[in-house]
Chain A
Amino acid sequence: MFRLKPEVESWFSNIFPKGALKSKWDLYYLCLMVGLGGGRSEPVTGERTDMVDYFIEDYKKSQKLIISLFMCAELGKFGIQFSDRLMAKEILDKYLNPTNPSFLTNNAFQRMNEYSYGGFLLLAENLGKPNDQATFLMQYEDLLNRLANENATWA
């Protein structure tokens, strides 16, 4: 299940839900990409909102790319080479579940939620509470690029 902490919605409250940010999935995705880019994951404890266990229509086309990036981040974090067949198989078994519409296992959900929350904390630490969608999204792109460039996984 994709999960969001209530403080995420609260932080975005001036620009969500309206305009281009329509669903909680948008918030989840924006935070997830920063978490993956910046290489930060944080445990999701305490109060949280259960969203859905699938990629909503807006993200259907990028579903497999998001999953691939998630696995790249995990491999980078643990210094694993995917060309090592046995290791690769282990990771694939751990994170891929073809029977779930999201193609993800519970382990993958948990780790992605952690990246998303870690990404949210990076956003909150680097940007002020957003008041304007256009300004925020452009600042967001810049921040993501900066963090990813500083992260050995992607650089």
Chain B
Amino acid sequence: MKITINGWESFGLRCPDVKVNLLKNSTPSRVALIQMPNGTGKTTTLKLIRASLTGAAQNWSRDEITELKSLKNPNVQTGKFILELSVDEKPLVIETIIDFVEAKVRYRTSSILLGGVEDGWRPPPNIKRFLEEKFVSLFIFDGEFAADLLDSTKTKATEAIETLSQLDLFDEVVSEADFFWEKQKRDASGTSKPYLNSLKEREAALTRRLAELKKSRETAQNDVASFSKRLAEVDAQLDEKIGQNETIRSEKDRLSKAKSDADAELSTALEKYMQDLRYPHKLYDGFVRHLNTFKVSLDQAKLPDTSSRQFFIELCEEINCVCGRPIGPNEQNHIREHAEHYLSGDISGVLNAIKNDINIYANQNFDEPLSDSRLKLSDAQAKFHDASTGFSNYMLKIKDFQDKGYEELLKEKAQIELEIRSRDNFLSFMSAPYKSSDDEKSSSVVSIETQLRDMQDRIAEVTDTVELRERINLLSKIATNAKLIAKKSLHKQLIDECNERLSKVLVNSPLQIEDIDNHIKLKGQAGGSVGQTLAVAYVFLTAALHRGSHQFPLVVDSPAGSLEQLVRKEVGKVIPELCEQFISFIIDTEKIGFVPALESASNDSISYSTIFRLNQTSEKLIKNVPNENIQMNGDSVLVTGKEFFVQFTLDKEE
């Protein structure tokens, strides 16, 4: 599917009364630059484009509606915004009509299928799923959304990938399957109603409890992420303060090194201890005794046999036995029966190998028994504890050195650590395994999930839908796993693709994506500058949008404001390659570096519009502009064309 924005028209609103046409020979330009000085109504225009696409204006409050009223004409009763789109080359027009008197918004939509105009927000059903708020914010976005992509407390990056790749279709499969089973349960007959009802009530109670717990778990996880983020900031501030005092810094560095050395020693000891634990004979004395007894028993039972079952089976085929006597039918039967008492040759081989290993491992005097590596581990742990305590005590001791803010930060750090610990404990309870004494009041998600599954199995039994339930479980499992696999693979592909582009875009300050785990995690740093964040967001979103089989316009407010000139140039080069239509609301100070790069990458498919309010200063600007390039409506002016666009600067504005 391909959606493009062909233009819009607005009147009676806070943004200028203009008709913007983005078509060039009936086709939208690949790049459309709309220059609007600050205060001209850029934000309002973007809000209305977004609301036209999502239908969200119907729920706006009186205050939100009043804010859209034209400032110049406060007595205006109605405002209108008309958005013209193309959906797979067919026109679609959505009108947003704002009644300022009643503080109500209504929509009118042109019908692609039937022609004419219908009341209401009625885009064709096949595009509705792409017009949800979360989807639209991916292609009509602002700086705030870009920052959210890299915020560890938010899940926008994962949501963006899932939405664009439509991975939620897997969830729909699961919920459709559940819905179908619910229906089958309702229709089931031949079961004692009161008993079935009581099971269903318990199932409903467990389902409610599970939802509650999952919500609490999500809140706790988000809290941990927020607190961890703040903790990193506090640590950085503490480090900065310490760094200002030479004596303290060198003592801190010494203690920090001692701590990290002790940590390395602990890791080595731990590795060795675990290596030893991997040998069961080192783990427990009784195992060694029993391994030896096992071997002796095999010897006593004369296992493995000196002859294999195969030998006797083959012997039956012979005319004469190895002793020379003939083998008749009776002898054959006898040999076959007794052949079963022998092991196959292959099993004998395995058994010999088992006995050999018992001989090697269970009977040797260990060079280093488990007790030795445990002692070393215990020592290393104590050393690490001492080093760690030494470091923490020193940090506490210097709390009031010259800087009062330091103590405040320490207090905050202690409080944050406490909060994180308490959330971690809570999350631990939530992952406790199921115990048979648990009921629906359990605080463990695992336990409630187990109980819920058992209950569903019981309902399936009594409603005779066991087989169906099993199939649904299988389908759900396949869909869930498929989603996980697809997500993992998509993340990997996107990370590779983005990193390749980032190495071109951010040449001077290389930045790479390490992982996409809810948010975009950068390699070796917690976050980037505003410009870097925006550059990463562009690269990520354009790569994600580019991957799907659908095409959407990318609409951005102030696309280059916080980007350094060199980055602007690189971003400008990349964007037209990655989307079919790029619409950018821009102010004059952003043009340097960005616009020439966009122009050269757009293959001449670029349009320039400048929208501003008429006043004494701007009136002079349009004196020499040909009439066919000017559209005036009251104090609203729209000038099309590159020359005016380039020359229009802020110092000539009001």
Contact = CB atoms under 8 A, between A and B. Distances in A.
Interface of A: 6-7, 10-11, 13-14, 19-21, 26, 29-30, 33, 37, 46-47, 58-59, 61-62, 64-69, 71-72, 81-86, 88-89, 92-93, 96, 98-99, 103, 120-121, 124-125, 128-129, 131, 133-135, 137-138, 140-141, 144-145, 148-149, 153-155
A72 B273 contact: no
Nearest to A67: B354
Nearest to A45: B453
A65 B343 contact: no
B274 A26 contact: yes
B361 A65 contact: yes
A69 B349 contact: no
28 contacts: A7-B433, A11-B431, A19-B270, A29-B278, A46-B453, A62-B280, A68-B291, A68-B357, A69-B291, A82-B297, A84-B301, A85-B301, A88-B301, A93-B343, A128-B428, A129-B431, A134-B266, A134-B269, A134-B270, A134-B381, A135-B381, A137-B274, A138-B374, A140-B277, A141-B374, A154-B284, A154-B290, A155-B286
A88 B278 contact: no
B433 A124 contact: yes
B195 interface: no
Nearest to B346: A98
Nearest to B380: A134
A6 to B, nearest CB: 8
Tell me whether chain A's interface is mostly helix, strand or loop, or mixed. helix
Interface of B: 266-267, 269-271, 273-274, 277-281, 283-284, 286-287, 289-291, 293-294, 297-298, 300-303, 341, 343-344, 346-347, 349-351, 353-354, 357-358, 361-362, 370, 374, 377-378, 380-381, 424, 428, 431-435, 446, 449-450, 453, 477
A53 B435 CA distance: 29
A16 B74 CA distance: 64
Contacts of A121: 433
Given A13-B431, A149-B286, A89 B303 contact: yes
Tell me whether chain B's interface is mostly helix, strand or loop, or mixed. helix
A98 B352 CA distance: 12
Contacts of B449: 47
Given A47-B477, A72-B290, A120-B433, A98 B270 contact: no
Given A85-B301, A89-B303, A155-B286, A96 B350 contact: yes
Contacts of B290: 69, 72, 153-154
A138 to B, nearest CB: 6
A87 B107 CA distance: 82
B446 A7 contact: yes
Contacts of B289: 154
A89 B435 CA distance: 37
A130 B613 CA distance: 66
B343 A92 contact: yes
B281 A37 contact: no
Given A19-B267, A89-B303, A14 B424 contact: yes
Residue from B277, B358, B433 with most neighbouring chain A CB atoms (10 Å): B433
Nearest to A87: B301
Contact of A98 (B297, B350, B450): B350
Contact of B274 (A20, A46, A83): A20
A124 B432 contact: yes
A40 to B, nearest CB: 13
A45 to B, nearest CB: 8
Given A68-B294, A71-B294, A144 B284 contact: yes
B478 to A, nearest CB: 12
A11 B303 contact: no
B21 to A, nearest CB: 56
Contacts of B434: 7
Contact of B280 (A46, A66, A140): A66
Contacts of A137: 270, 273-274, 277, 377
B228 to A, nearest CB: 14
Rank and list the top 4 A-B pairs by shortest CB-CB distance, nearest first.
Answer: A82-B297, A98-B346, A20-B274, A154-B286
Nearest to A9: B431
A4 to B, nearest CB: 12
Nearest to B446: A7
Nearest to A155: B286
Contacts of A82: 294, 297-298, 300-301
Nearest to A123: B433
A154 B303 contact: no
B446 A92 contact: no
B270 A62 contact: no
A49 to B, nearest CB: 10
Contacts of B302: 85
Contacts of B270: 19-20, 133-134, 137
Contact of A85 (B266, B269, B303, B432): B303
Given A11-B431, A138-B378, 4 more contacts: A65-B279, A83-B300, A86-B341, A149-B286
Nearest to B425: A129
B280 A69 contact: yes
Contacts of B435: 125
Contacts of B274: 20-21, 26, 137
Contacts of A69: 280, 287, 290-291
Contacts of A47: 449, 453, 477
A153 B284 CA distance: 13
A14 B425 CA distance: 11
B506 to A, nearest CB: 31
A141 B276 CA distance: 11
Given A19-B270, A85-B301, A154-B286, A65 B281 contact: yes
A62 B35 CA distance: 72
A68 B358 contact: yes
Contacts of A21: 274
A100 to B, nearest CB: 10
Nearest to B273: A137
B301 A62 contact: no
Nearest to A147: B284
Contacts of A124: 432-433
Given A20-B274, A141-B283, A92 B374 contact: no
A58 B274 CA distance: 10
B357 A103 contact: no
Nearest to B353: A64
A138 B270 CA distance: 10
A29 B290 CA distance: 19
